[in-house]
Amino acid sequence: MFSIGEFAKYGGVSVRMLRHYDAVGLVRPAHVDPHTGYRSYEADQLARLNRVIALKELGFTLERVRAILDEQVDATELRGMLRLRHAELESAMAADAARLAQVEARLRVIESEGQMSFDDVVIKQVPAMRVAELTAVVESFEPRFITPVITPLYEELWSRMQAAGLRASGAAVAYYENLDGPVTVHASIPVDAEPDPSQDFAVVDLPAAEVATLVHDGPMEQVIPSVQALARWIDAHGYTSAGPAREVTLSCPNCGDHTVTELQEPVARR
């Protein structure tokens, strides 16, 4: 038999919590001294205490915990419930981390306003090119929606091109359509090939264009300051956007923070 203090130590809870569990009928002491009121517990009661704590962590009320225990949920079922809760918490943490990253990115946008030189923007002509591509539709143009989709698209496109015996003839080009609603994401790679209906990817021609360009050095999750600097240059120099923006991957050594991307915005004179 253990005193309430010893049982609390072995169970990893407070004495106050054990008294509360006794009061609500969740974990009653094995013995209560009728003269002193001292509570004593047995080692076997640790199993019930473990289940109470685990079910509380799953978000159940104490009333529901008692009902579940009375139904004698076995360890296998409890492990399954805990694994599900673990997955839910991991998902929530990942979502919170993504939101925090977006807040930090927006702060960088604000802090960098007016700091990027217009000298970094170059107008040039890009020729027409033929590309192999896969597409997907995402909720919006926010990087947090784009990045998790376009990376797997490129991985799948590379795999399908290799299966078809095709090689890249240039740097990867991403472009986007329908920015006013659900956005169509195009993951494209230049190829020297004819369209083939039997292939499980599209082969299309991107038109030649006059583009305003700016090189972005860093992860695409942090591209907004560069995008906005390019937009300010276009507006200040009497241009207007004239087609889907393109992102040309100039360098991607394992990608991540070391990506170098040329932002290309097709433009026309106002």
Query: Over its length of 270 residues, how does the chain's per-residue pLDDT go in tens digits?
Result: 889 999 999 898 899 999 999 999 889 999 998 889 899 999 999 988 988 888 888 788 888 888 888 777 677 877 787 788 788 888 888 878 777 777 776 676 677 666 655 668 999 999 999 999 999 999 887 777 888 899 899 999 999 999 999 999 999 999 998 877 789 999 999 999 999 888 999 999 999 999 999 998 888 877 878 888 889 899 989 999 998 899 999 886 455 557 899 999 999 998
| Dist CA 200 CA 7 (whole Å) | 64
Which pLDDT does position 118 carry in this prediction?
60
User: In sequence order, what are the residues at sequence separation of 6 or more whose Cβ sits closer than 8 angstroms to the Cβ of residue 64?
Assistant: 55
User: In sequence order, what are the residues at sequence separation of 6 or more whose Cβ sits closer than 8 angstroms to the Cβ of residue 133?
Assistant: 157, 186, 187, 188, 189, 201, 202, 203, 204
User: In sequence order, what are the residues at sequence separation of 6 or more whose Cβ sits closer than 8 angstroms to the Cβ of residue 207?
Assistant: 128, 243
| Dist CA 270 CA 45 (whole Å) | 79
| Dist CA 20 CA 62 (whole Å) | 11
| Dist CA 45 CA 1 (whole Å) | 10
Which pLDDT does position 18 carry in this prediction?
92
Tell me if 264 sits within 8 A of 213, measured CB to CB: yes
Query: Which structure tokens are listed for 60?
Result: 């159940």
Query: Whose structure tokens read 């006059």?
Result: 210
Q: Which helix (H) or strand (E) holds 244?
A: none
Can you give the three-state secondary structure of 35-102, one letter per residue?
Answer: CCCCEEECCCHHHHHHHHHHHHHCCCCHHHHHHHHHCCCCHHHHHHHHHHHHHHHHHHHHHHHHHHHH
pTM of the prediction? Answer: 0.60
94-102's contacts with Cβ under 8 Å and 24+ in sequence apart are: 98/144, 101/144, 101/221, 102/142, 102/143, 102/144
| Dist CA 33 CA 43 (whole Å) | 18
Structural Rg of the chain based on CA atoms: 30
Which pLDDT does position 255 carry in this prediction?
54
Which pLDDT does position 185 carry in this prediction?
93
| Dist CA 207 CA 33 (whole Å) | 89
Which pLDDT does position 141 carry in this prediction?
79
